Amino acid sequence: MKKLFALFLAFCLAVGCGVCRAEEEETVIVASFYPVYILAKNVLQDVPGVRLACMAAPSTGCLHDYQLLTSDMRALSSAAALLINGAGMEGFLPMIREQLPDLPIVDCGAGVALLEEEDHHSDEDGHGEEGNPHIWLSPVNAIQMVQNMADGLSVLLPDAAGIIQQNAADYEARLSALDAELAAAIAALPGRDIVTFHEAFPYFAARYGLNVAAVVAIEPEEPLSPRMLTDVIERVRAAGNPPLFAEAQYDSAALRIISQETGAPLYALNALTSGPDALTAYEDGMRENLAALTEALGNERP
Ligand SMILES: [Zn+2]
C-alpha cells in the first residue's frame, strides 16, 4: 500500500512539474574540451539534474589557438560552472573571467607539477608561460585532475557531494590500475626514444621512462617551413632514427616526409583530445597508445 501511494505521489509530482520546468532546473556543467569532458563524465555519472556539456567541438584538438565563439559565451552564461584543464591550456580564460565574473571555474590542473616546454615561444599561441599544458596525458595527473574536479563540484553541488566523491574514488581506482598496467608493460620494452608530432607527450614520457628525442611541430596548427623540416630530420637522424608518432588530430604529411628521409618507422599516438563520448574513452585511448608503443619499441631495430 505504501508503495502504491509513493507511486501515486511520484506520478502527481511528475505531472505537476511538467517537462519544461524540469529543463529549467537542470544544472549545466561545462568542460572546456574533450579530455576534461571525459574525466567529468565519470565524476558526474548518475548525478541527478546535472547535464555535462563540452565547450570546444570534439574536432578541436588541443585548445592552443582556440577562439571563443559567441555560442560558447552563451552556453557559459547559463552554466553553473566551467571545468578547465588549467596549466595555461585555456588561453581565453581572462576573457571569460572579464565577461562572466560570477561563473565558478574549477581548475582541474591545480597543484600538478608542470614541466617546462622545450621551446619557449611567445604568449600568442595560447600556451602562456605556465609550462607544458598537456598534463592529462599522465594518468597520475589525471587522477589529481579528477580529485580537484570532484572537490570543486562537491562545493558547488553539495547535495550531490556523496555520489560525486564516490564516482571520483571509483574512477581514480581504475586510472591507478591503468597506470600500473602501462608502467609494467612499457618498462619491459627495449626501446626508449620516441619522436612525436607536437609537444603533447612529455608528462606521459616522464611517467613511464620514455625519452621524447624530438618534436616535429612547435606550433601544431601551422605548416612546417622547409627549414624547420630539415632541422627535425637532422635531429631524428642524430637520435638514431627512433619511431615517429603522428597524431590523428593533425596532418601527418610532415611526418611521412621525415619517415621517408630517415627510414624511421611511422606510428600514431592518441593525445586524447578527441574520441568517443564514452566513460572508458581515456583508458581505451591509453591502451591504444600502449599497443602502438609496444609495436614501435618492442623489438630492437637493426
Ligand atoms: Zn597540444
Same domain assignment for residues 286 and 159 = no
C-alpha separations of 122 from 86, 93, 95, 213, 219 in Å: 18, 17, 19, 23, 11
Same domain assignment for residues 57 and 172 = yes
Output the CA 204–ligand 1 centroid distance in Å: 13
In a domain, 55, yes or no: yes
Pairing of strands 211-215, 81-84: unpaired
In a domain, 9, yes or no: no
Output the CA 173–ligand 1 centroid distance in Å: 27
Same domain assignment for residues 148 and 223 = no
Output the CA 199–ligand 1 centroid distance in Å: 6
Same domain assignment for residues 136 and 220 = no
Beta strands in the chain (DSSP E): 27-31, 50-54, 81-84, 105-107, 193-196, 211-215, 244-247, 266-269
Output the CA 135–ligand 1 centroid distance in Å: 10
Range of the domain at 253: 190-297
In a domain, 49, yes or no: yes
The pLDDT value recorded for residue 220 is 87
Output the CA 7–ligand 1 centroid distance in Å: 51
Same domain assignment for residues 85 and 55 = yes
Q: What DSSP designation does 273 have? A: S
Output the CA 17–ligand 1 centroid distance in Å: 45
Q: Residue 9 and residue 155: Cα distance in Å, rounded?
A: 31
Output the CA 107–ligand 1 centroid distance in Å: 18
In a domain, 286, yes or no: yes
Same domain assignment for residues 31 and 173 = yes
In a domain, 97, yes or no: yes
Output the CA 117–ligand 1 centroid distance in Å: 11
User: Could you tell me the three cell numbers for 169?
Assistant: 574514488
Same domain assignment for residues 131 and 261 = no
The residue type of 287 is R
- pLDDT tens string, the chain, 302 residues long: the values are 445 545 444 444 444 444 444 455 799 999 999 999 999 999 999 999 999 999 999 788 899 889 999 999 999 999 999 999 999 999 999 999 999 999 999 999 999 999 998 654 444 444 445 799 999 999 999 999 999 999 999 999 999 999 999 999 999 999 999 999 999 999 999 999 999 999 999 999 999 999 999 999 988 888 899 999 999 999 999 999 999 999 988 999 999 999 999 999 999 999 999 999 999 999 999 999 999 999 999 986 54
Same domain assignment for residues 162 and 82 = yes
pTM for the model: 0.89
Output the CA 231–ligand 1 centroid distance in Å: 21
Output the CA 53–ligand 1 centroid distance in Å: 21
Output the CA 48–ligand 1 centroid distance in Å: 33
Buried b (16+ CB within 10 A) or exposed e, 232-268: bbebbeebebbbbbbbebbebebbeebbebbebebbb
In a domain, 4, yes or no: no
Output the CA 114–ligand 1 centroid distance in Å: 14
Output the CA 198–ligand 1 centroid distance in Å: 7
Using only C-alpha atoms, the chain has a radius of gyration, in whole angstroms, of 22
Output the CA 61–ligand 1 centroid distance in Å: 7
The pLDDT value recorded for residue 119 is 56
Output the CA 153–ligand 1 centroid distance in Å: 26
In a domain, 214, yes or no: yes
Residues 6+ apart with CB under 8 A from 119: 199, 215, 218
Same domain assignment for residues 284 and 168 = no
Same domain assignment for residues 166 and 36 = yes
Question: In this structure, what CATH number is given to the domain that contains residue 84?
Answer: 3.40.50.1980
Q: Residue 200 and residue 294: Cα distance in Å, rounded?
A: 19
In a domain, 18, yes or no: no
Q: Residue 41 and residue 39: Cα distance in Å, rounded?
A: 5
Q: How many domains does the chain contain in total?
A: 2
Edge-to-edge strand list for the sheet holding 81-84: 50-54, 27-31, 81-84, 105-107
